[in-house]
Structure 1
Amino acid sequence: MAAINLSFDEMWEKIIAGDRKYDGLFFTAVKTTKIYCRPSCRSRKPKKINVEFFYDIEEVEKAGFRPCKRCQPEVEHSPHIGTVRHVIAFLLQQYKQKIELKDIANHVGLSTYYLERLFKQETAETPRTYLEKIRVDKAAYLLATTNRTNLEICYEVGFQSPSNFYKVFRRSKNCSPSEYRILKREEPAT
């Protein structure tokens, strides 16, 4: 499977949210306990300074961590999760490109109907809404950490039109990109 490209802060946000869609794409290792978990693990969240992230089980176990007994990150829980992970990795790599459902289906060798049904069964979202969330998360990160214009960010994260960018961003974050930038700049550093 292709490696995903998430920053430390983005992965941290996924474990705080308990986002099960990232299970198997990366693992959270806690230095103090020497245990690694899925991003969706329901165990108490560790301190940020005690966390390391790994992209595969061999790598994390080679570093001396053992699997969590609660979330069992070494066990596949669904026969289709591998396909869904492959689709998610593809979306994370290609989110800047114009992607249609047929492109994703061709990539994994499934019909569009079956892919959409399978993906929704595992993630409770369609590939399109999932892709929009990736783009919004990337845009939010850029809004908070760079001085690029909203328009530059819109196209950089793969939206085809500013109006769609604003509509999807507002629906996801409950504010406009400009309002989000102001809010993030006013937040005290943690």
Structure 2
Amino acid sequence: MIGLVTEQQWQAITTNDASYDHVFLYGVCSTGIFCRPSCKSRNPNKEHVRIFQDARHALEEGFRPCKRCNPCSLRMPDEERVIQIKEYIHEHYHEPLTLTVLAGHFHGSPHHLQKTFKRIMKVSPIEYIQRVRTENAKRELIDTDQSVADIGVKVGWLNTSYFITLFKQQTGLTPKQFRMASREKLKRLGGG
């Protein structure tokens, strides 16, 4: 359950070795907090470190989970962060979103955010924002009679030409063609 730190574990802690994250957790007696080995928190005094098999054992010993590395989650911290970024994009897609804006909101560098997001999602944050905007534009085109320019602005594209170009790249149709094809399909299905 609880144990003293070995040299191998200490090395993993001091080098923030993520390959040990599913092997053990460590608690710091002086703070009462436990972390993953990959946590970027300040290195503790070795004498204050205790090793745990899992979060349940650390909690049973009265330790609190670190807010930075979230050792109670089954997901890794980068995956957690990407989920939070995706949620933020879905809530704010209509606003001016850039890597700098996202990085500032999530307290990181634009380069790291770009690299982490792309590694996990296989697309860049900007590509993801464009996809979310396109999906919302599709709904607006089907459900409303608003102009293409108004829908573009509503979903976050202030430049109508850019909106039309990106929409066509992603769907193969211009917004107007998409609206007409969607309405034709609904008529054929008896929905309109």
Place the TM-score, normalised by the shorter chain, in its bin.
0.5 to 0.7
How big is the shift at 1:160? 1.9
Which of the residues 143, 163, 166 maps onto 2:164? 166
How big is the shift at 1:80? 1.4
How big is the shift at 1:100? 1.4
How big is the shift at 1:133? 0.4
CA distance in 2, matches of 1:189, 1:175: 23
Which of the residues 139, 154, 157 maps onto 2:155? 157
Compared CA separation, residues 76 and 166, structure 1 to 2 (3 A): farther
1:86 paired residue number: 84
**RCO comparison, higher one (Cα < 8 Å, 6+):** 1
Matched residue of 1:158: which SS? coil
Higher Rg: 2
Structure 1 position 103 matched with structure 2 position 101 = yes
Matched residue of 2:89: which SS? helix
Which amino acid letter does the alignment assign opposite residue 123 of structure 1? M
Which amino acid letter does the alignment assign opposite residue 177 of structure 2? E
Q: Any residues of structure 2 matched to 1:29-68 within 5 Å, and which?
A: none
Question: TM-score scaled by structure 1?
Answer: 0.58
How big is the shift at 1:189? 5.2
Question: TM-score scaled by structure 2?
Answer: 0.58
Structure 1 position 132 matched with structure 2 position 130 = yes
How big is the shift at 1:78? 4.0
Compared CA separation, residues 180 and 120, structure 1 to 2 (3 A): same
How big is the shift at 1:124? 0.4
CA distance in 2, matches of 1:189, 1:178: 21
1:113 paired residue number: 111
Post-superposition Cα deviations, 1:76-114, rounded to whole Å, max 9, x if no partner, equal 454411100111111111111111111100111111110
CA distance in 1, matches of 2:180, 2:76: 42
CA contact 1:98–1:160 (8 Å) conserved in 2: no
List gaps (5 residues or longer) in structure 2.
Answer: 1-72
CA distance in 2, matches of 1:129, 1:117: 13
Which amino acid letter does the alignment assign opposite residue 147 of structure 2? T
CA contact 1:119–1:126 (8 Å) conserved in 2: yes
List gaps (5 residues or longer) in structure 1.
Answer: 1-74
Which amino acid letter does the alignment assign opposite residue 149 of structure 2? L
CA distance in 2, matches of 1:161, 1:175: 18
Compared CA separation, residues 76 and 172, structure 1 to 2 (3 A): farther
Which runs of structure 1 show a deviation greater than 2 angstroms over 4 or more consecutive aligned residues? 75-79
Matched residue of 1:80: which SS? helix
Q: Give the RMSD, CA atoms, in angstroms.
A: 1.5
CA distance in 2, matches of 1:161, 1:186: 28
2:142 paired residue number: 144
